[in-house]
Structure formats: structure tokens, C-alpha cells
Chains A and B, each alone.
Chain A
Amino acid sequence: MQINGAQMVIEALIAEGVDTVFGYPGGAIMNVYDEIYKQKDFQHILARHEQAAVHAAEGYAKASGKVGVAMITSGPGFTNAVTGLADAYMDSIPLVVISGQVPMSLIGTDAFQEIDAVGISRSCTKHNYLVTKAADLPRVLKEAFHIAATGRPGPVHVDIPKDVTAEIAEFDYSIELELETYKPHTKGNPRQIKKAMEAIANAKRPLFYLGGGIINANAAYEVRDLVKKTGIPAVETFMARGVLSHDDNLLISMLGMHGSYAANMAMSETDLVIGLGARFDDRVTGKLSEFAKNAGVIHVDIDPASISKLVNADYPIVGDVKNVVTEMLEQSIGIDPKKYAPWRETIEKFEELHPLVYHEDTDRLKPQWVIERVGELLGDDANISTDVGQHQMWTAQFYPFSRPRQFMSSGGLGTMGYGFPAAIGVKAASPQKTSINFTGDGSILMNCQELMTAVEKKLPVINIILNNNFLGMVRQWQTLFYDKRHSETDLSVQPDFVKLAEAFGGIGYRVKTKEEFDIALKDAIDKNIVAFIEVIVERMENVMPMVPAGGSLFNMMLLQKKEK
């Protein structure tokens, strides 16, 4: 059929099964918004800032497993969205972000709201397109969705000049894609898998090192089976929280800079690392030359460039982790879980020696208690987002995650301001679950305008602001490594968070005790509108254990033991 470029965008979104688009209109994208106005097939959620629109699309994508879609205008609309693109790129979140561009005839003339958008997004997207004629749109949009969702997922940016959205051309979305240069390798090499299984059978102290790729590949339940069947203990990266359930006795905990003592010691003592969809990030490995020093390495990843990038893989397996783990399950018959009993006992001793705990030794509430309490009260019934900082690490340490896609957080880029809009996207994708955003008094101010979005679209996200009047994580580093010079991290001058929420039509609470917190949380759930629960917490609490940047995993700063 002959339709214009703007209509093609709508038709393509419908054909892709998109039910929610996050965005913000402006001059160059107006033709598309005009068509959005006329259609009823998907909902549009108007964010109050383009960065938030993209984070919301990320939250939506992570919670639903579908491709998230955001739409923005040219120039500042696009540059505002760049942080979201970069965030999705670092965390391998499938997105299609469509931006308007000045008309073709004005490109290169420094026109109003013109910026070289594809030039900017090139380094922070999986792929991008500048569409120069409407006839290309069906193919480009179909490729964009395909590329975003397949292989190692990631954001794809499509920049469409305004005159292209008005141009009429033939639209046929049933075209076959011919991507001769893009063929992700999804099936692991059977011989490599066999060798890896032999290595596992021969190892004395093997360790599963589970990464976020398992969640992207929807392979968590296969991994749970493999862990159970082999009896091999497992550590999770920050991005992998929820792959195993918190009550799985083979799950040690998170490893890395703020990983548990037992998890980091297990990684230091193992003789075979079984890496599944993890990328040996510097926050995980600490000092590379000391990382799993005496261990062989199996590395399963869909991205060949992740393998042997930082840690040499003895058994590299390129493939979709779901396919590979399924194959591993079939070949795991010869593996006797009993063999690893002494190794599991060693790890139990590590856990007894320095368990992952905190002390309630101050008048003010401890932030960790708040997180644990939400876990007790809501557990599996909540989806959890976070912002970035101390609260983020405490959430990863203390929330009892029980399923994949329960936890959304900005791991790679570490974007303050991610949590609230992401939680809005999560709520849109998964309305039956309570959407909680753990945040800090620093982070929440970086996208608090999204209160308006949440009120307008009735997306009752509960923001739990762990308020220590500090930019806490930076303060912690200043305390530990900068001789307590707390440069520009004291956030004692603050808004009234209760009034702030109320000003937008949300609800606010300020709590100082456990009783007050329970009442506030219950009330916020009952009221079913967007909420700020400001919890006054201990100011000087540090995230422990901690591996100082560049240090070895086994050299942790530990929580001081309490006198009995």
C-alpha cells in the first residue's frame, strides 16, 4: 500500500506487536505524532524528559522481554536521549529509538534543532540508521527490531528526517530481511561443549559464574536445572540477580566489588570458572592478574568479542546461552554432585566466617533493613528497580530476588536517574506486580519530574528514598580513600520530598521508624498512586564488603565484627 513515512512508522510498530511507546514530541517528529493521535493500537506514554522516555523503554524491555520503543524529536530531544541509549548499550537492552531529524534539504546547514544524531549515537548503539527516503523505511524498521532483539541485544537508533515522514512510498512489511553481514552465532560448537563438560567432570572446585546474558536469553530456568543437576555452587553478577532464587542453597551470592566474602573467596579458590553470559567486568574481577588465578575458564557468550577480552578462555563457546546450557544439561549425566561436597563445605565455612549481614547499632534505621523488610513484605510480588549508588548495592545484596526480570538497574553505565523512569516502564509492562524503585536522595532528583508521567498514566510506582543526606557512594570513597574530605557530597540542603510528591499529585511519606515504614508502605500500596517514601537512614553507613578499585577479590574490606 502507498502511505507516507509517518504512517509507515505506525504500521511497522503495529506489525512488531508494540503495545507501548514512550516518548516526547517536537518539531521534527510531529508528522509521526500526528499519526499516533489517529491510531488506537498502542498506548503512548508521555515522559517529561527524553532521557526518562528511554529509561522507561528500558524498564519496559527488561520486565517484558520485548523490544522497548521510544520516540523523540531532533536536536535537544535526541541529545537528551543519548544517556538512555548509552545505558541500554552497556546493559544489552533491546530498544528501538526513533528520532525526528530536520528535513533532508536542511541537513548540514546548522538548521534549527539540527544535530548529527547518527554521528553521536554511533558509539553508543548496536546499530543506527539515517533514513533518506520513505521507500527504505519498511526495511530499516524491520531490520532495527531484528537487530535490537537478536544476538547480543542492544539499542538501535533510527533517525528520520521530517520530509521523509511526509513522503509517500510503497509499504510492504512482509519483506524478507537480507542481512548477509549480520548472522549471530547461536548454536554452541558441540565439540567445545563436550570438552567443557569433561573439564567440569574433572574439576574439584568448579564454580558457576552467572551473568546478565542468561536473563537476556531467557535461560534462567535451564541454568537453575543445570546448577541443581550438577551440584556446583554458583555466584551471580549484579546483572544476574534473580537467575537463581535467593533460597537456592547452591547460590552463594553476588560477587565483585561489593560481593559477599564467600562469593569472592569461592571465585579466588575455584579451579574452574564456568562463565555463562557474563563479561568479566572490572567491577567483578578486581585485579585481573589475581582473578581466579589457578582456574581454567569456560566462557559461554553470544558475543565473540566478550570472550577472551579480559580473561583468557580455555573453553570458549560462542552461542546463545539457552542453547548451550540445554546441550550441557543433556551431557551432564557423567557429573556426580557428590564429588563437589568438600568444595561446598569449604564455601559454607566462608559463609559462616563472614556472612553478608549488617548491624542495627544506630538510632537511625539502617538502609539494609528497609530493603530486607520490603523483601519480607513483598518478595516475589514486587519488581525492583534502583538508581545508582549505595542503595543500589544494598538492594543487590539484601533483596530476596526469586525470578529473572525482577530486578532492573543500571549496571554498566551506572546512570543516576535511571530508576524512577525505569520503574514506570516496568509498571507499564507488568501492572499486576508492585513496582518498587529503591533510590537515594541524590539519584531521585535526577528524574523526579517523572512524577507527572506516573500520575497522568496512573502508574503507581513506589519510590523508596533511602535518605542519608549524602551522595552516599562517593562519600564512602571519600571517607575511605580521600581522608574523609567530603567534597561536595553533603546533600543536607534538600527539598521536602513529601511536598514534592504531593505537588505533582502523588503521595509522600517521611518515616524514621520501622513501624512508620510498614504503615507507609502498606498505605502507598493501598492508595495505588505514585509515592515517595522518604526513609531517614543512618548517614555514615558503608557498603561492605568492599574490594577497593583495582584490588584483588580476596582482599576485601569487611564489616567490623560486633563484640558479643
Chain B
Amino acid sequence: MAESNERRVVSVIVVNEASVLSRITDLFSGRGYNITSLTVAPVPNSNYSRLTIVTSGSVRVIEQITKQLHKLIPVLRVYEHADLVEKEMALVKFPATENITDINTLCEAYNGKIVNAGINVIIAMVADEPKRVDNFLSIIQRYNPKEIVRSGAVALER
């Protein structure tokens, strides 16, 4: 019985302690779950960290992922987002010979701007929904990007 794979965003609040990240990633690799992207940063004014994991799987697999995550001792809470605001950042390096005005206009359309303009390179930044970041990255191909880095998603429930 083929079950459809859905893209899901799962947020995990964990105690900020040694090896907690490997507990999470070991769980994913050990049980054969996917990680599309993962971001982690401390929650301000607490001893917790927040992880945002983009994953995919059938409904049953996603349910298991949240339950298995919750079973880990240092995990405080697991949110499997249904209705959420999701953002991802990308940084792109262009040769300084490319048209800076065009690039800047495109960046503005995707919540971004030129963040650095040097003698040899221009660095642009966008922060938008992951799908729109995909779009941006495909559009800017014509400006010969030299390097692209994506941050992975962060998300908050509405």
C-alpha cells in the first residue's frame, strides 16, 4: 500500500545540553526518517533550544516522528505544524560584473537586498517562504551566481 509522502515542518523544544542534537539526528537516521533541513538556536532567556526540522513522510511516519521525538528525555515539546509562517534565508554571491540594479530589484521582490558590494563580488540576501526562495534561486541563474547558501527553514504556528 503506497502512502503519499508529505512535506512537514516539525519544531522541537529541547534542553540545551551536550549531545542533544545528536540524539535528534540519530533518531532520524536510526529509524530511516528524512531530514530535508534542520535549524537550531537557543530560545532566548531559557535553557532550551528550538529546532526546526523540515521532513517528509506518510501520515503514519510523521506521527511516529513526533512521538519518537517526544520520547527522547531532553525533549520538552514537539509541534507538528499545520498552519504556520515559514521563512528561509539564502545568501548568493555574484560577480561584480553582473547588473547590480537588476539583482537588487529581484531581491526586493523576495524580501531581500544587496548586503555587500565589493570590488570583485556582490552578496545578496533574501528571506522568504522556502518555495519562493526556490523561485528566486532559479531566476537569478542568469546572473551567474558563484555561490549559494541556504539556511534551512524556521517556522511559527499562526
Residues of A within 8 A of B (CB): 118-119, 122-123, 126-127, 130, 132, 147, 179-182, 289, 303-305, 308-309
Q: Is the CB of B71 within 8 A of A122?
A: no
Tell me which residues across on chain A come within 8 A of B70, comparing CB atoms: 304-305
**27 chain-A/chain-B pairs, Cβ below 8 angstroms:** A118-B19, A119-B19, A119-B22, A122-B22, A123-B26, A123-B30, A126-B73, A127-B73, A130-B18, A132-B18, A147-B73, A181-B14, A181-B73, A181-B75, A181-B76, A182-B73, A289-B1, A303-B71, A304-B67, A304-B70, A305-B64, A305-B67, A305-B68, A305-B70, A305-B71, A309-B64, A309-B67
State the Cβ distance, B92 to closest chain A Cβ, in Å.
36
Tell me which residues across on chain A come within 8 A of B74, comparing CB atoms: 181
State the Cβ distance, A188 to closest chain B Cβ, in Å.
17
State the Cβ distance, A313 to closest chain B Cβ, in Å.
11
Q: Is the CB of A130 within 8 A of B19?
A: yes
Flag whether B60 is at the interface (Cβ < 8 A): yes
Tell me which residues across on chain B come within 8 A of A304, comparing CB atoms: 67, 70-71
Flag whether B157 is at the interface (Cβ < 8 A): no
- Of B14, B63, B73, B74, the most chain A CB neighbours within 10 A belong to B73
Flag whether B100 is at the interface (Cβ < 8 A): no
Task: State in angstroms the CA–CA spacing of A123 and B70 once bound together.
Answer: 15
Tell me which residues across on chain B come within 8 A of A118, comparing CB atoms: 19
What 0/1 pattern do residues 1 to 14 of B give for CB contact below 8 A with A?
Answer: 10000000000001
Q: Which of A130, A147, A182, A308 contacts B60 (CB 8 A)?
A: A308
Task: State in angstroms the CA–CA spacing of A147 and B73 once bound together.
Answer: 9
Can you name the residue of chain B whose Cβ is closest to the Cβ of A184?
Answer: B71
Q: Is the CB of B63 within 8 A of A308?
A: yes
Flag whether B91 is at the interface (Cβ < 8 A): no
Do A122 and B68 form a contact, CB below 8 Å, given A181-B15, A308-B60? no
Task: State in angstroms the CA–CA spacing of A119 and B25 once bound together.
Answer: 12
Tell me which residues across on chain A come within 8 A of B146, comparing CB atoms: none
Tell me which residues across on chain B come within 8 A of A180, comparing CB atoms: 76
Tell me which residues across on chain B come within 8 A of A305, comparing CB atoms: 64, 67-68, 70-71
Tell me which residues across on chain A come within 8 A of B22, comparing CB atoms: 119, 122
Q: Tally chain B residues at the interface, Cβ within 8 Å.
A: 20
Q: Is the CB of B26 within 8 A of A122?
A: yes
Tell me which residues across on chain B come within 8 A of A309, comparing CB atoms: 64, 67
State the Cβ distance, B72 to closest chain A Cβ, in Å.
8
State the Cβ distance, A213 to closest chain B Cβ, in Å.
15
* Interface of B, helix, strand, loop or mixed by DSSP: helix
Residues of B within 8 A of A (CB): 1, 14-15, 18-19, 22-23, 26, 30, 60, 63-64, 67-68, 70-71, 73-76
Tell me which residues across on chain A come within 8 A of B30, comparing CB atoms: 123
Tell me which residues across on chain A come within 8 A of B23, comparing CB atoms: 122
Tell me which residues across on chain B come within 8 A of A123, comparing CB atoms: 26, 30
Task: State in angstroms the CA–CA spacing of A308 and B74 once bound together.
Answer: 23
Tell me which residues across on chain A come within 8 A of B68, comparing CB atoms: 305
Can you name the residue of chain B whose Cβ is closest to the Cβ of A303?
Answer: B71
Task: State in angstroms the CA–CA spacing of A179 and B75 once bound together.
Answer: 11
State the Cβ distance, A21 to closest chain B Cβ, in Å.
24
Tell me which residues across on chain B come within 8 A of A130, comparing CB atoms: 18-19
Can you name the residue of chain A whose Cβ is closest to the Cβ of B23?
Answer: A122
Tell me which residues across on chain A come within 8 A of B76, comparing CB atoms: 180-181
Tell me which residues across on chain B come within 8 A of A181, comparing CB atoms: 14-15, 73-76
Tell me which residues across on chain B come within 8 A of A147, comparing CB atoms: 73
Task: State in angstroms the CA–CA spacing of A119 and B73 once bound together.
Answer: 16
Can you name the residue of chain B whose Cβ is closest to the Cβ of A305?
Answer: B67
Task: State in angstroms the CA–CA spacing of A130 and B17 once bound together.
Answer: 11
Task: State in angstroms the CA–CA spacing of A304 and B69 once bound together.
Answer: 11
State the Cβ distance, B113 to closest chain A Cβ, in Å.
40
Task: State in angstroms the CA–CA spacing of A304 and B68 once bound together.
Answer: 9
Can you name the residue of chain A whose Cβ is closest to the Cβ of B22?
Answer: A122
Tell me which residues across on chain B come within 8 A of A289, comparing CB atoms: 1
Q: Which of B19, B60, B67, B75 contacts A122 (CB 8 A)?
A: B19
Can you name the residue of chain B whose Cβ is closest to the Cβ of A128?
Answer: B19
Can you name the residue of chain A whose Cβ is closest to the Cβ of B13?
Answer: A181
Tell me which residues across on chain A come within 8 A of B73, comparing CB atoms: 126-127, 147, 179, 181-182
Can you name the residue of chain A whose Cβ is closest to the Cβ of B14?
Answer: A181
State the Cβ distance, A413 to closest chain B Cβ, in Å.
15
Can you name the residue of chain A whose Cβ is closest to the Cβ of B29?
Answer: A123
Can you name the residue of chain A whose Cβ is closest to the Cβ of B75?
Answer: A181
State the Cβ distance, A318 to closest chain B Cβ, in Å.
10
Tell me which residues across on chain B come within 8 A of A119, comparing CB atoms: 19, 22
- 3 smallest CB-CB distances across A and B, nearest first, come from A305-B67, A127-B73, A181-B76
State the Cβ distance, B74 to closest chain A Cβ, in Å.
6
Task: State in angstroms the CA–CA spacing of A475 and B60 once bound together.
Answer: 37
State the Cβ distance, A135 to closest chain B Cβ, in Å.
15
State the Cβ distance, A117 to closest chain B Cβ, in Å.
12
Task: State in angstroms the CA–CA spacing of A122 and B30 once bound together.
Answer: 10
